[in-house]
Structure 1
Amino acid sequence: MILPHTDFTGFSCGRVHLGVTGSVSAYRAIEIMRRLQRAGLSVSVTLTSSAQEFIQPLQFRSLTEAPVYEALFARDQAEFAHLYPAGNCRSFLVAPCTANILAKHAHGLADDLLSTQLLAFTSTIIHAPAMNPRLWHSFAVQNNISILRDQGICFVEPETGLMACGESGTGRLASTEEIFLTTLKSLMPQDLSGLRVLVNLGPTQEPFDPVRYLTNPSSGIMGASIAIAAWLRGAAVTVISGPVSSLWFPRFITPIYIQTAQEMHQACLDHSRTMNIICLTAAVCDFRFKDSFPDKVKKTSLDQAFSLPMGKNPDILADIGRQKKSGQILIGFAAETSDPTNEARRKLQEKNLDMIVANRIDLPNSGFRSPMNQVMVLDRHGRVETWPTLPKSEISLRLFDWVFHAFVDV
């Protein structure tokens, strides 16, 4: 299943080489290849002889125009197959990666095509291990991983869960989306490296009683796209999320979950002080009930017509704008049901923002719950742009292009 906040595309100039080794999870290499291809990447493949006991080269050849290699001395392949990835690809992904290949790579062995290709490759190499928990935790495997990490090799660590053998533990191949995002990161400029980015996202909920609350239909997709885009470009990312627990995040981003606007306000203030870029996308409830009840309120206890006194919630964007330090970049979002231009200009100035992204939530394919958005972007230098309807993942990458060139690269 493709998730809208990880659906980054447009990488048609990128080439990745995929190594497939002898694991029961080798069947998932097809899914991983197709995920990379959806982003526009060209994927070539090498299968070890053990991998071919689980999955056949023909399955890959049917789905890619790039070379598919299966042996060091195969008669029907290019003469210099062992050098193909080094000469043509920007990243080398081994998924699944067995203990055997880890050992060969760590100690410079090159006795088959895949290990030879790894030895010759000088760009980014990513291993996604998959093996029994006993193997994963063994001294030899962990020692080999340490050796490879010291050489700058990247890892997508295995997950914990039920294994094919029936045992439970750490050793399951990581999710396709984590493997995809880690590979994509290796192809992107790391222009936010060393920077810390705070993103808030989703709605808030203002409880009336244990079964009723005031909220809005924000899905958190825009904020999640921005958080992942920042990570892809090298930033350390902190996410403060409203109650959208169904929104998937990779393990390298652990959201801090809150419920109410006041909780969101406090969490954002606490974390914003140490951030370089603060991007506030959350659809925070402007109002809350003045009184909330610990037990369910019965209809019989109320008159036919009744009123619910309400109060204003704190303005997170304005409060962070007031305490913003020199060098910090503050980005706000504004959801409107009419032309957002005047309101966006007002918020940009009054709340001490560096940039604001305004969108119409009453238009089709835009705003809440949609994977798409149509936005107007303004910054404090006077630059204004209106973008066509785009995937939220694409908008997030464009925003960081803008941020980097307008505020960071100076």
Structure 2
Amino acid sequence: MSSAYFNIRGVVEGFYGFYYTHQERMALLRYMGQHGFNMYLYAPKNDRHHRDRWRDPYPPQSRVLFSETIQVAIKNEIRFCYGISPGTSVCYSSTEDFRSITDKFIYFYDLGVRSFSLLLDDILPEFIYSEDRDRYESYAHAHADLCNRMYVWLKDRDEGCELSMCPTDYADTPPFSMYTKTLGQMLNPEIMIMYTGVQVCAREIRGIDAKAYGEAIKRKPLIWDNYPVNDGEMAADLHLGPIQGRDPELYKQVCGVLINPMNQMEASKIALATYANYMADPIIYDAQASWELALEEAAGLQYAPALRLMAENALKSPLKIHNAVRLESLVSAVMEALKAGVSSIEDPAKAALDDYLNQIDQASYTLANYMQNDALRSELLPWLELWDWWRRLGKSTIRALNLRETDSDFQIAIRDIQTARRAIQKHPKRIMGNSLMSLAEWISERSHAD
């Protein structure tokens, strides 16, 4: 599947934390082939031989696994790119360190790889070794020199090889750093430079921003899009929403896009499917329609409504501030009615919220026990557990409201609220926002007053 818009339509396994298993990676490559992707960049930060111990060779058992993975990529018309991240400890002027990098590249070249990347991101902009301070005018000069020498080495070995790099200032903004400008001036124009947008995790990636960055680096950038990735401080969130905020005319200013997925490979397919639709035709891309189809593909037609209900409560991400817009609206209506003195027994807002919580109850049970996509189920389970605690909090709160309205003892319901609150507060994941907590606190405060 080709595209008239983006020459490179890729995925970069570039997150921190536990990276994909061999089987997950091969499944991802097959999925990519089915959805029009054409490049995969291997760059998991926690692969010790990729970053922290980049000088060390891969163990013997890795060769068979990488070979199988690369063959799956080739079969699915995916360009396998191997990335190495030596910046944490490299001596740029060292011939030994240069040879350590080329040894890694030879290892993958012999397995059929012709695309390589030097990732110099997430490192301190300072020299570690005195030899580098003596040799280079600046950090950018060192990066350009290393990449240029590596490019020449690759081309001498095989004219079909290509090289990309991720700079240290990968989320730069006008007027741009001296590092960015120097790198653009000194780096071989055939070496692709990655760019995440004006932010590391960009809410929007505009064509005007990519154009400005491209002018600074003197070439069209290769976008490294940090959505739906959820590593680091975002690890508590599940990013199940569609890609949005990407300029319909971004393709005019970039050489391609690499998408950084979540640690949860199967769940990442939801966002990846929508991104595939965007890259196929960004002009007519409809995020909502694409999302509905992606949910159906992930869960199956029968279970897609349940997954959609969960997903609309898991939208907090760099793209969206709110986690659960519909729930927030329902809770807000109940709070307004309470403040206005409307009887909770007859309040249609409370009845609507109760019905929504019943839907969540059924959806949660369905996803946990009936959905046929076992890989997705396993990844969702921690959030399903928390989702159910929120449901319990909401149901206990409604029960307390009803009992209070009839002058009945609602202390048991209050205890259930407290149990649910404690479980939610200590849970390592996040879903559903926080609106139900305010309602629970309202009735809890009344229990003390009464």
Same fold (TM > 0.5) = no
Tell me which interval the TM-score lies in, with the shorter structure as reference length: 0.3 to 0.5
Larger strand share, 1 or 2: 1
1 or 2, which has the higher helix percentage?
A: 2
What's the TM-score once normalised by structure 1's chain length?
A: 0.33
| TM-score normalised per structure 2 | 0.31
